[in-house]
Every structure is written in structure tokens, then in C-alpha cells.
Amino acid sequence: MALLGFPVRAQDNAPSHLGDRAIPCANLVYAGGKTSQCFSDRFLQRLQQETRIRTKPHFQRVHLDERDLFRYPFAVMSGEGPFQLSVAERTQLRYYVTHGGFLLASASCSDARWANSFHKEFARMFPTGQLTRLRLEHPLFRTIYRIDSLGTVHGAGGPNGAGLSAYARNGRIVMIFSGDGLNDTSHTQNCCCCGGDEINRAEFVNVDVLAYALLH
């Protein structure tokens, strides 16, 4: 079985630094209004069901260049087509992930143009940094659910290959990038990846990413 639909390690007690407040998660708006239309937020509710970590049940749209971003410890950035960030957006995103924020970036429906644009922006933000492919043996893939495969719905793996890449600062992962979609379109309305591809059962992958971000 590629992915087991039960928790391998439920977090019975959230770390004290999370407090009692519900964790809010941002859906970024960037590059003149580009944002994700089809990234399901159901994983936020599933994490709360499986653990004692409290989360807000839905994303909040947040403009990348707004100060409000720093109220959100976890942010999703996704979309389709090419894009270019403004200087202000680039500066703020760099500051965000190097000062406690965590970014999950995913090419909607495995869109190669978006993935290529993201790689260019990453290089501008972190000229000496690199995104490193995570092996499935990494603890992230055992945080709540056991993830044994990152195959895609259409089986093609997308032009960038099925898998997650990480950027770490001072030994801590602060960014996860996927060239293949993590949309989980089966749990969104009026959205699909008919013209693209996405990772199978992405909801569970997203749960592990969020839990890992909050617990490490």
C-alpha cells in the first residue's frame, strides 16, 4: 500500500510553545493577484482530528507583501503559469522563512511553468542556497501518517519528478517545494487537474508537512 490511511504516531500532547490558540494558515496572494484557487484546506481539519494540535479549519488569504503574514506560522504558495515576485514580496518571503515562518510551495496540477518560476525566485532569494530532495525515509514522512510513495494520479510524475524538496536554515527545514501538485482537488469544489497531474492522496502528505513544521 502506497500510503497508510491511519496515523503512525498521533501527537497526544502538542508542544507547549504552540499554546492553546488555533494555528492559522495562510494562502498567499502574490505577483499581482496570483494565488491558489484549488489547494484544499481539508488537511488542516484532519490534523486537528488526529492530534491535539488546534488549527483554524480554513486558509486565510494573505498578500505576500503585507505585514499580516507574520501572524501565520505556516503558509501555502501555489498556482499555475509563470510569475515574478516584486522586490518587496521577495524580500518579505525571504525574511518570513528565515524568522520562524514555514512555506509549503507546490505547482498547481504539476504546472511546469509555475515550478520553473519558483526555482528562479528561490535562486534570487537564496543565491547560495539549494533545495534538497527528501528521501522517503525522512522523518517528515512518518510524522502523523506513513508515506511510502509520492506517485501521481496520472502516473507520469510530472516534468519535475514526483517528490518533495526542502530548504533548511541552521538545521531546520523552513520550506518544502513540490514540482508535482499537492492540491488535493478531490476535496475542493469546481476544481480538478484534468489538464495536469497531482500527487496521490495529497491530503495526508500535507498533514505530515504541517505537523512536521509545527513540531520541529
What are φ and ψ of residue 75, in 5° steps?
A: -135, 145
Where residue 36 falls (left for φ over 0; alpha for ψ -120 to 50; beta otherwise) is beta
Q: pLDDT by residue (tens digit) across 141-190?
A: 999 999 999 999 887 554 445 689 999 999 999 999 999 999 999 888 87
**DSSP code per residue over the chain:** --EEEEESS--SS--GGG-SSPBPEEEEEETTTEE-SS---HHHHHHHHHSS--B-SS-EEEETTSGGGGG-SEEEEEESS-----HHHHHHHHHHHHTT-EEEEEEGGG-HHHHHHHHHHHHHH-TT---EEPPTTSGGGGSSEEE----BTTSS--TT-S-EEEEEETTEEEEEEESSB---GGGSSS---TTS-BBTTHHHHHHHHHHHHHH-
pLDDT digits over 77-128, tens only?
999 999 999 999 999 999 999 999 999 999 999 999 999 999 999 999 999 9
Residue 158: what residue type? G
Separation between Cα atoms, residue 66 and residue 68, nearest integer Å: 5
pLDDT digits over 177-216, tens only?
999 999 999 888 878 887 789 999 999 999 999 999 999 9
pLDDT in tens, 19-71: 568 999 999 999 999 999 889 999 999 999 999 999 999 999 999 999 999 99
pLDDT number for residue 20: 63
Integer Cα distance of 161 and 79 in angstroms:
18
Q: Is the Cβ–Cβ distance between 97 and 103 less than 8 Å?
A: yes
Q: What is the Cα gyration radius of the chain?
A: 16
Predicted local distance difference test score (pLDDT) of residue 19: 58
Place of cell 504539476: 110
Greater confidence (190 vs 15) lies with 190
Q: What is the pLDDT of residue 190?
A: 79
Provide the residue type at 180 as one letter: D
Which residue in this structure is represented by grid cell 499581482? Answer: 32
CB 55 within 8 A of CB 23: yes
